[in-house]
Amino acid sequence: MTKPLKEVHIAAHFPGVNNTTVWSDPKSGSHIEFSSFEHFARAAERGKLDFIFLAEGLRLREQKGQIYDLDVVGRPDNLTILAAIASITERIGVAATVSTTFNEPYELAREFATLDHLSGGRAAWNVVTSWDAFTGENFRRGGYLKADDRYRRANAFLDAAFELFGSWDPDEIVADKAGGKFLSHSDPGRFEYKDDFFDIAGNFNVPTSPQGRPVIIQAGDSPEGREFAAAKAEVIFTGRSGLQDGREFYADVKRRLAKYGRAHDQLLIMPASTFALADTDEEAKAYAEEVRRAQVSGATALRLLEQFWNRDLSNYDPDGPLPESEPDVVSESLTAGRASARMFGDRLAKAKEWREIAEAENLSIHELVLRVGLGGQGQTFVGSPLTIANQINDLVQADASDGFIIVPHITPSGLDGFVDQVIPILQEKGVFRQDYVGTTLRDHLGLDQPGVINQPDFAAAAQ
C-alpha cells in the first residue's frame, strides 16, 4: 500500500529588512509604496498560495550605535498594510508578525478580529516576544523582559487574547428590526482575565470574527518554544529547511501535540526558505552564486565580521586579510535590534577555524565571509522549476515539513517566477491546490475552527 501524497503548503514572505533582500538589483522596487505590496499580493494569490507573511521589527537596527544602513530600512505597519492587501485579494491568507511585548491584548485582539472580519476569515498572527530594552525605548511599557519571562508573557498574552476573541456568542447580534431587539443579552463581549502579567476585565467590542480567531503562527526552536507551539500554535515558522534537521524537528514537535489533545494535522511545520530559479540547474547554480554576492557585498561582509568579532573593524579592507585581534567575547554586543548576535556560539574557536581556512586558501575578509556563510548559507532551493518543485515535494513527503514560507530576494517581482513556473509543476503532481476550495485561511490549512481545539493548561503541561 502506498502512502497517500501529502498536500504541500506554500506561503510567501514579503522581502524583509536584512541582507537576504537585494536592493542593488535594477529590478528592485520600492519597499514602502503600496504598488509593491499589490504586485506581490497579486502574484501570491495567482499562485493560490496559502498566505502572505510579514515580519516585524519595532526599532531600526544599529551597529556601533549607528543605524544600520547597508540593508533595506523602512517598512509599513503590518496589520494596517495587510488590511489593504486583504482589500485587493479574495482568498489568500494575510499573516502579521506582532509582538506580545509591546502591545496590550484588548487593542491587539480588536485589530486582529477586525482584519479577520474584513478579510472574510483570512487573518493569521505570528506571535513573537521581543525582549530587549533597546526596542522598549519606543514604547510606554519600555524596559524589557527577563529571558525566562518571554514565553510566560507570550503565553499569558495569548490566553488573554483567546478570551477576548471568544467573548461574543456567535449569535449575540439578533438585529430583529420588527421586534426591536439588537442584542440577545445585555452584556455582550464580557471577559475577565487575571494572572501575573494581566489583570483585565470588561466588554470586548468586536463581535466574533469568521475564523473565531486568527490562525496562530509561532517561530520557536528551543524546547520551551516547541512546547509553546505544540500547545497553542497552528503553524510553526522554523529555520530548519533541510532533510535531516527538518525530520527531527518535525517528529519532535508533532509528538508533543498529543499531550495537549491535539491531532497531528492541527500544527503545520513550514520552514523559512529562499530560492534561486533559472531555466536549467546549471544556470540556477550560477545565479544563486551571483545572488549571494549581491547579498553579501564587501561592505556587508565587513559589517558581518564586525558583528561576529564584536570589534570596530572599520579600518579594515574587506579585500584584505582577517584582523589580527581575537573576537571580543567580553564586551556588550555592538549590535542592537537583531537576534543573530546571540546565536554565534563559541566565537574564539570558530575564529581560529576561520583563520586557518583563510590562510590555507588565501582568502580575504569578503571571500571568507562568503566561504563560511556568515551572511547566510545561500539559497535553500536552487535549480530549474522542475528541480525546485521536486526538492519541495520530496521534503514534504519525507515529513521534513508540511510546506514552506518562501522569501524572494527581489521586491516586488521576486515571487513571479516561483508562482508561474514552480507552482504549476506542484499542481501537476497533485500535491498543490489547483484553486482555493474554502474561503478562510483555516480552510486552506486544514485547521479546525477554534472551540474545537482543546485548550489545556500550557504551564502545567510544560512541567
Partner 1 sequence: MAKDSINLIVALDGTGWHPAAWREADARPHEFTTAKYWKDLAQTAERGLLDAITIEDSLGLQSERPFENDARVDQFRGRLDAVQVATFIAPSTHHIGIIPTVIATHTEPFHISKAIATLDYVSRGRAGVRVQLATRTSDSKHFGRRDFPHFTYDDYLNGNGREFIEELFDEAADYIEVVRRLWDSWEDDAEIRDSKSGKFIDVKKLHYIDFKGKWFSVKGPSITQRPPQGQPTIAVLAHATVPYELAAKSADVVFITPTDKNPASSIIAEVRAAESEVERSLPPLKVIGEIVVFLGKTTEEAQAYRAKLDDFLGHPYQSDAHIFVGTAEELADLIAEWSASGIEGYRLRPASLPHDLNLIVDELVPVLQKRGIFRTSYGEGSLRSRFGFARPANRYASSVKG
Tell me the three cell numbers of residue 180. 426591536
CB nearer to partner 1: pick between 32 and 452: 32
Q: Which residue has the cell 472574510?
A: 120
Please give the biggest Cα pair distance in the chain: 87
Q: Which is nearer to partner 1, 6 or 139 (CB)?
A: 139
The reply to whether 67 sits near partner 1 by the rule CB under 8 A is yes
59 binds partner 1 (CB under 8 A): yes
d(CA 228, CA 222): 10
* 173 vs 461 by CB, closer to partner 1: 173
Cell of 91: 482568498
Binding segment for partner 1 (CB under 8 A), chosen from 180-188, 257-265, 344-352, 454-462, is 180-188
Closer Cβ to partner 1, 16 or 450, answer by number: 16
Residue 156 CB, nearest approach to partner 1 (Å): 12
Rounded Cα distance, 275 and 391, in Å: 11
111 binds partner 1 per the rule CB under 8 A: yes
Q: Does 171 bind partner 1 (CB under 8 A)?
A: no
Rounded CA-CA distance 403/396 in Å is 6
Establish if 84 lies at the interface with partner 1 (CB under 8 A): yes
Applying CB under 8 A, which of residues 119, 155, 380, 440 lies at the interface with partner 1?
Answer: 119
Considering the rule CB under 8 A, would residue 347 count as an interface residue with partner 1? no
Backbone angles phi, psi at 41, to 5 degrees: -65, -40
Instruction: Report, in Å, the least distance between residue 170 CB and partner 1.
Output: 12
Helix (H) or strand (E) holding 298: helix 298-309
Q: Verify binding: residue 203, partner 1, rule CB under 8 A.
A: yes
Nearer to partner 1, 17 or 396 (CB): 17
Q: Does 199 bind partner 1 (CB under 8 A)?
A: yes
Tell me: does residue 201 bind partner 1 (CB under 8 A): yes
Nearest distance, CB of residue 383 and partner 1, angstroms: 28
Q: What is the dihedral of CA 292, 295, 296, 299, to 10 degrees?
A: 150
Residue type, 7: E
According to DSSP, the residues that pair with 447 across neighbouring strands are none
Work out whether 33 is an interface residue with partner 1 (CB under 8 A).
Answer: yes
Torsion angle, alpha carbons of 6, 12, 16, 18, to 10: 40
Least distance from C-beta 440 to partner 1, angstroms? 14
Helices (H), 166-297: 223-232, 243-257, 281-295
Residues of span 404-463 touching partner 1 by CB under 8 A: none
Q: Is the peptide bond before 412 cis (omega within 30 degrees of 0)?
A: yes
Nearest distance from residue 15's CB to partner 1, in Å?
A: 13
Range 120-149, binding partner 1 (CB under 8 A): 120, 137-140, 142
Least distance to partner 1 from the beta carbon of 336, Å? Answer: 11
Spell out where 136-278 has E strands.
Answer: 173-176, 181-183, 190-194, 199-203, 215-218, 235-238, 268-273, 275-277
Q: Does 86 bind partner 1 (CB under 8 A)?
A: yes
Q: Distances from the Cα of 406 to the Cαs of 141, 259, 462, in angstroms? A: 34, 30, 31
76 counts as binding partner 1 under rule CB under 8 A: yes
* 23 vs 344, beta carbon nearer partner 1: 23
Cβ nearer to partner 1, comparing 209 with 391: 209
Pick out residues in 285-344 that bind partner 1 (CB under 8 A): 297-300
Looking only at the bridges linking them, the beta strands covering 181-183 and 173-176 are antiparallel
Establish if 202 lies at the interface with partner 1 (CB under 8 A): yes
3-state helix, strand, coil in the chain (%, to 5): 40, 15, 45
Give the binding range for partner 1 (CB under 8 A) out of 80-88, 232-240, 385-393, 416-424.
80-88
